[in-house]
With several copies, the nearest count.
Chain A
Amino acid sequence: MMTVAAARLLADGQVSFVGIGLPSAACNLARLTHAPNLVLIYESGTIGTRPTVLPLSIGDGELAETATCVIPLPDIFSDYLQAGRIDVGFLGAAQIDKFGNLNSTVIGPYDKPKTRLPGAGGATEIAAHARQVFIVMKATPRSFVKALDFQTSGGHFAGRTQSGARGSGPAVIVTDVGILKPRAETGEFALSALYPGIPAEEAKAAVGWPLAVLPALETCAVPSAPELEALRALEARTAAAHREPVRLPL
């Protein structure tokens, strides 16, 4: 449901900066269903790539072979992201707060972390410069927290409009228990849409801050047959492709 819900948010023709995992699945599902002209950019440098299977890393060969072009990583960040050419950037993290600020750096203090996470990667500048940011994360009280241990990338933080960030910040958080959108006045995320069969109480319980509910609370449609069929076929192709053993030139 998360993948389908995220895919539905993408409009045809948009330019999307994609990470591995659920964002990659959602973007490719959208491309294979309602948004055939979606442009997928992976930070490794592939522009307009059309993989037939989901990559396990941003460096997978098929991303290059099916791309409109492959450019150096510095150009992706300077001439595309920083230049404001990305419509939608996908982000996830270990922690999120109610303003959509994200932590993918450390749990615990920075100098003596309890858990050292992988770090920012492209997230800090994606959060700043993509026109819109879509956040995709499973909701638990441990990850949807009142206060981040570290702010890796910015959501609707105080002073965003004067900060030099080009983009408008996170537009949506797609979770496994519903969809959150920010209130225009405060930038604070509130429950915007439910999934069929998951009540608002379950969503509220999964979030570590008091989750408000937007007045126009919707319920998402169940995944349609074409959506499910496209997603299952994509996953089946992916599983088959990744079962092929690697042959080294020995």
Chain B
Amino acid sequence: ARKLTFSWGGNPGVGSLHRLRDAVENAWPGPLEIDEHSHAAMAVAYRAGAARLPFGMLRGYIGTDLAKQNPRIRSVTCPYTAEKLATVPAVNPDVTILHAQRADKRGNVAIDGIVGAAREAALAAGKLLVTVETIVEELPPAMNNVVLPHFTVTAVSHCPGGAWPSYAHGHYARDNDFYLKWDVIARERGRFTAWIDRHVRGTADHRAFLASLQGQAA
């Protein structure tokens, strides 16, 4: 990774992401360019991306040094009230990768539970790759639930457990223990690299990756 566009980079409920810290503080394993925003701004940036507008706007970046550090945070003047509003460039990822609960054979994808900005990030993407817990013959009519229609989806992959260590609503809970263990694993470069070598580089697929962690994740 060359550049990170983000609004929060931590281990939720635990603390720092040590690898992110090492990259920013010490340029290890390489320099990382930072494009830093707030959540509210990232939200309108994804929404603008999904709508193929070039920028998003908000009443934001008030009382903060963020706008001073990031030249991509700018403003527009309201053509009616002359108010100044903060702007951020639309985020249109080349590829968005999501994990969802279900897809059908045609590629329609159904997401249940806390959706965050998943829909916006999906529709903002150039290509949309989705891993799912289950693939069914046909999804039932979804009414007002969140669905990504097949013509917005580039590819679907069946990948049970693909949200781990996070959760998949209706399938399995968040592995809170692992978030604590990750703090230890990722703290030092050596231990982190060994873990990646063994469990990620050293396994053939996601099933083998999860199996290699059973009972001895740390």
- Direct interface between A and B, CB < 8 A: yes
Q: Is B161 in contact with A58, judged by CB distance below 8 angstroms? A: no
The A contact surface, by secondary structure, is loop
**B183 touches A (CB below 8 Å):** no
Provided the pairs A116-B20, A116-B25, A154-B64 are in contact, do residues A69 and B174 lie with their beta carbons within 8 angstroms?
A: no
Instruction: Report the minimal beta-carbon distance from A113 to chain B, rounded to whole angstroms.
Output: 6
Residues 229-250 of A, flagged 1 when their CB comes within 8 A of B and 0 if not, give: 0000000000000101111111
**B201 touches A (CB below 8 Å):** no
**B123 touches A (CB below 8 Å):** yes
Question: Contact partner of B116 among A72, A79, A113, CB < 8 A?
Answer: A72
How many residues on the B side are at the interface (Cβ–Cβ under 8 A)? Answer: 78
Residues of A with C-beta under 8 A to B214:
250
Enumerate B131-162 residues with CB–CB distance to A below 8 Å: 133, 139, 141-147, 149, 151-152, 160-161
Q: Closest chain A residue to B119 by CB distance? A: A72
Instruction: Report the minimal beta-carbon distance from A19 to chain B, rounded to whole angstroms.
Output: 10
Q: Closest chain B residue to A152 by CB distance? A: B64
Residues of B with C-beta under 8 A to A70:
113-115, 142-144
Q: Is A124 in contact with B24, judged by CB distance below 8 angstroms? A: no
Enumerate B6-23 residues with CB–CB distance to A below 8 Å: 6-10, 12-13, 16-17, 20-21
Q: Closest chain B residue to A81 by CB distance? A: B40
Instruction: Report the minimal beta-carbon distance from B134 to chain A, rounded to whole angstroms.
Output: 9
Q: Is B39 in contact with A82, judged by CB distance below 8 angstroms? A: no
Provided the pairs A85-B151, A114-B25 are in contact, do residues A63 and B114 lie with their beta carbons within 8 angstroms?
A: yes
Interface residues on A, range: 35 or more
Q: Closest chain B residue to A108 by CB distance? A: B25
Q: Is A74 in contact with B24, judged by CB distance below 8 angstroms? A: no
**B198 touches A (CB below 8 Å):** no
Question: Contact partner of A119 among B6, B47, B115, B149, CB < 8 A?
Answer: B6
Q: Is A250 in contact with B176, judged by CB distance below 8 angstroms? A: no
Enumerate A49-90 residues with CB–CB distance to B below 8 Å: 56-61, 63-74, 77-79, 81-85
**A20 touches B (CB below 8 Å):** yes
Question: Contact partner of A77 among B40, B145, B152, CB < 8 A?
Answer: B40
Expressed in whole angstroms, the Cα–Cα distance for A74 and B48 within the complex equals 11
Residues 172-185 of A, flagged 1 when their CB comes within 8 A of B and 0 if not, give: 00000000000000
Q: Which 8 A-B pairs have the closest CB atoms?
A: A154-B63, A118-B10, A69-B147, A78-B51, A74-B43, A121-B8, A77-B40, A125-B40
A-B contact pairs, 9 of them (CB 8 A): A44-B116, A56-B174, A57-B174, A69-B141, A73-B116, A77-B44, A152-B64, A246-B177, A248-B164
Beyond contacts A56-B174, A70-B114, A124-B61: 8 other A-B pairs, Cβ-Cβ < 8 A, are: A57-B13, A61-B167, A67-B143, A77-B39, A78-B50, A78-B53, A82-B51, A160-B63
